[in-house]
Amino acid sequence: MPEDPIDHVDFTELNKKAISQPLVSHIYTADPSAHVFNGKIYIYPSHDIENDIPFDDLGSHFAMEDYHILSMDTPDSPTVDHGCALHVKDVPWADKQMWAPDAAEKNGTYYLFFPAKDHQGIFRIGVARSSSPTGPFIPETEAIAGSFSIDPAVFQDDDGAYYMYFGGIWGGQLQRWRTGSFKAEGEGPLAHLPEKNEQALCAKMARLSDDLLSFTETPKDILIIDENGNPLLAGDHERRFFEASWIHKYNGKYYFSYSTGDTHFLCYAIGNNPYGPFTYAGRILEPVVGWTSHHSICAFEGKWYLFYHDSSLSNGVTHLRSVKVTELIHDEDGYIQTIQPYKKQ
């Protein structure tokens, strides 16, 4: 997909073909993490803002500063913006770039998990708490010990255990942690990526402590394998992990879904436990207008829904995106039907 702006697209016609419309249009929102709390849908998105930062491979133009929580009574009802729930200026350890968050609930307390660059320019993952799903959220004074990179997604299993999945390459800095410690900038924006014939970098995961404020283990790789049991390679850009981890459970199986980044697909893989390995199973969503693709999957009243974003409202400006929702269907064998974001005429 092209960078921003997209000059040759007729956005009036594109929006007529879109299978869904932005949930809110008064602000730009992206990277939606949707959950059902107390019978209602709450969405925890990024809040995109206009800026003059040039497009680059590190995502510097994604300069988000705060989080707004959205809610819906049903997937078809109006969406409510509950205002600013957390601002970067209120997080002692964070400097900038409040990227894709997630949320969880335990014993009546709501937890907002979020990445941001610290004052040394390194992405860490923080957590904030509230008595309400809409905040305001009070952040911990330090990032989660041992956390790094971006895109936290927290999954509660049936046994009550909570796991965090995270990571993103390129601007998400995951490749800079290959040796276990951070390698600073200096060799180019995409330094330290594996070669095309090497195993692709993996998302990370770790079980969370009982208070959801720390890891109980050293983060582990989420291995995605092909139909022959071989790990996906770094050169397999149409299937390998890039960013945007998500986990949902369906008929006893664990579905790890993610974005392929520079090829703009949402893909998924299926495993038998939260740690994987996960076998690649196909695409969830074909490319949308805009460079990024980031999502969540949520069940509500017996149906499943895909929350995602595109840049149609901003006429294709990459860093000004809008959250959307559409139904997601698992077929009788458990595979997800691939979704086309725009109807073909």
Catalytic residues: 31, 243
Coil, helix or strand at residue 194: coil
Per-residue tokens: 257: 């879904």
Contacts of 335 (CB under 8 A, 6+ apart): 281, 282
Contact yes or no for 204/221 (Cβ under 8 A)? yes
Residues 150-177 as b or e (16 or more Cβ within 10 Å = b):
bbbbbbbeeeeebbbbbbbbbbbbbbbb
Residue type at 25 in one-letter notation: S
What is the Cα–Cα distance from 172 to 190, expressed in whole angstroms? 10
Query: Contacts for 93-96 with beta carbons within 8 Å, 24 or more apart?
Result: 93/118, 93/119, 93/124, 93/126, 93/141, 93/142, 93/143, 94/118, 94/124, 94/126, 94/139, 94/143, 95/119, 95/121, 96/63, 96/65
Q: Torsion angle of alpha carbons 104, 109, 110, 111, nearest 10°?
A: -70
Closest CA to 290 of 130, 61, 41, 136: 61
Residue type at 215 in one-letter notation: F
